[in-house]
Amino acid sequence: MTNIKKSIHGEWSSRTAFILAATGSAVGLGNIWKFPYITGENGGGAFVLVYLLCVALIGIPIFIAESMMGRRGRENPVNTMLNLSTEANTTPQWQYVGWLGIIAGLLILSYYSVIAGWASAYVVKAFVGDFINTDAAQVQQLFDQFIKSPLQLIFWHSVMMLTTLIIVARGVGEGLEKSVRFLMPSLFALLILLLMYAMTTKGYFQGLHFLFNVDFSKLTGKGVLIAMGQAFFSLGLGMGCVMVYGAYLPKDISIAKTSIIIAAVDTVVALLAGIIIFPIVFSNNLNPSAGPGLIFETLPLAFGNMTGGWLFGVLFFIILVFAALSSAIALIEPAIAWLIENRNLSRKLASLYACTASWGLGLITIFSFNVWSDIKLFGQNLFELLDFLTSNIMLPLGGLAIAVFSGWLMNAQHSQQELNLVSDNHFKIWHFLIKYIAPIAVFLVFLQVMGII
Ligand code: PHE
């Protein structure tokens, strides 16, 4: 029976350990770097509202489903899907959901590590005092010069990938638990500090208005897809990473409660980042749709002009790097678990192969900001395409498959037993959301973007 099988990777030592690791995977560049810039590109309030709805109605039910399936299957996503499809008496083709996840993880990590590299380069820039008393034009120039240099980007990307490799080669363990335990509160404290700064700027209310004033005329159909993709990306859903983390989850832990806590923390961090960035954008007459450079062109202004800004700047970018690393290790874990379990590799070798592949793919993103910046397909450069393909297509597709599998194919008694909810009604709510609402919503968004409805 698969449901009594113990994970070969060991287990989390406690519920807190799982919450910490899963929060570490959820909170990262997606919240602090990506959420603000895509909100800026997609007109603000209406986009934020759709994002929040997607987190609540699609994200949380799928998060619960994915961890529950992981804990029942107990292996890497491919084998977990195989185990579960055998148990549900259905086709082994479901294993391709696992494959989709492994590939999405490698692809996402390839650019994630590049951006984490930007954050680490900014630790040094903050440290040597590059932000002190700067104005918007100087900060912009600093960033432009930086991303125009393939060598610098390759250097920092390599530093990040190597660090990821060293951490994952050691396995899911204490180190991770400990670092996240200290990381999250520090990140939170620094965000509050930055929030206090943002409140003193003249663009504070304009920033809030931009973020929370819902004006649907500013939101395009593609914007809706991007908002949904971001719900998946930010929660780390639809690619088997919640599934592998779920596989390390002891039996007696309430999956639903932990999933809701993680989603809430993740959402609060993203909103905080937005409430910090947009006032700075409007106070300095910057463009909210500046793209992936947005936080690198705004936060240095805050640090350069606030008391204690040197220290806070250094600390902030260090913490951002740590937050990125705790997500990076989650992105690569499905591939590593597969290499260990199905190819009989040692953890060290599996980590080396997976990180090397992802490192190589990262060069595409690096060159898309400089030597290949003219290469465009459908009006998007290679980085944008990669991000679009993974966040907005692969993750929602994986999520859709997870929803359909757990809602329609898995025996409801099994999922009820696995979720072990205190009240029957809670189970019914989840089951309704996962069976109808989540899959239909994802499907409709896809149709709408393809121009079918
Ligand atoms: N959730 C992470 C972030 O917001 C990124 C991530 C995506 C991690 C997918 C794991 C899986 O930064």
pLDDT digits (tens, 9 = 90+) for 193-203: 999 999 999 99
Provide the percentage of residues in the chain whose pLDDT is more than 70: 96
Q: Given pLDDT bands bounded at 50, 70 and 90, which one contains residue 18?
A: confident
In a domain, 10, yes or no: no
Residue ranges making up the domain that contains 399:
15-449
Pocket flag, ligand 1, residue 302 (CB < 6 Å):
no
Q: pTM score, two decimals?
A: 0.94
- CB of 241 closer than 6 A to ligand 1? yes
**Is position 348 within any domain?**
yes
Q: Which atom of ligand 1 is nearest to the CA of 328?
A: 8
Distance 260 CA to ligand 1 centre (A): 16
Residue 60 lies in a domain: yes
Does 5 map to a domain?
Answer: no
Per-residue burial over 112-130, b if 16 or more Cβ lie within 10 Å, else e, is bbbbbbbbbbbbebbeeeb
Q: How many structural domains compose the chain?
A: 1
- 3 state SS of 377: strand
208 CA distance to ligand 1 middle (Å): 25
Q: Say yes or no: CB of residue 330 within 6 Å of ligand 1.
A: yes
Question: Smallest Cα–Cα separation from 74: which of 85, 65, 87, 83?
Answer: 83
Using DSSP, state whether 10 is helix, strand or coil. Answer: coil
Contact in structure between 369 and 386 (CB atoms under 8 Å): no
* Cβ of 316 less than 6 Å from ligand 1: no
Region 295-310: mean pLDDT is 93
* CATH code of the domain covering residue 37: 1.20.1740
Q: What is the pLDDT of residues 131-190, one digit of tens each?
A: 999 999 999 999 999 999 999 999 999 999 999 999 888 875 666 667 777 788 888 899
The packing angle between helices 309-343 and 150-170, to 10°, is 60
Please tell me the residue having the least CA distance from ligand 1 atom 9: 236
- Give a yes or no: residue 8 inside a domain: no
234 in contact with ligand 1, CB cutoff 6 A: yes
- Is residue 9 included in any domain, yes or no? no
Residue 294 inside a domain? The answer is yes
99 pLDDT more than 70: yes
Per-residue pLDDT tens for 265-298?
999 999 999 999 999 999 999 999 999 999 999 9
Residues whose CB falls within 8 Å of the CB of residue 318, separated by 6 or more in sequence, listed in order: 123
With bands split at pLDDT 50, 70 and 90, how would you rate the model's confidence at 4? Answer: very low
Q: Is residue 3 part of a domain?
A: no
Distance of CA 128 to the CA centre of its chain: 30
Is pLDDT of 233 > 90?
yes
Does the pLDDT at position 5 exceed 50?
A: no
Spatial contact of 21 and 172, defined as CB atoms under 8 Å apart: yes
Nearest CA to ligand 1 atom 11: 236
> From the CA of 373, how far away is ligand 1's center (Å)?
25
Q: Phi and psi (nearest 5°) for 284?
A: -110, 15
Report the atom number in ligand 1 closest to the C-alpha of 33: 12
* Closest ligand 1 atom to 28 CA: 12
Residue written as token pair 């992105």? 331
Pocket-testing residue among 327, 333, 391, 393, ligand 1, by greatest number of atoms within 8 A of Cβ: 327
Give the nearest ligand 1 atom to 104 CA. Answer: 9
Tell me what percent of the residues of the chain surpass a pLDDT of 90: 81
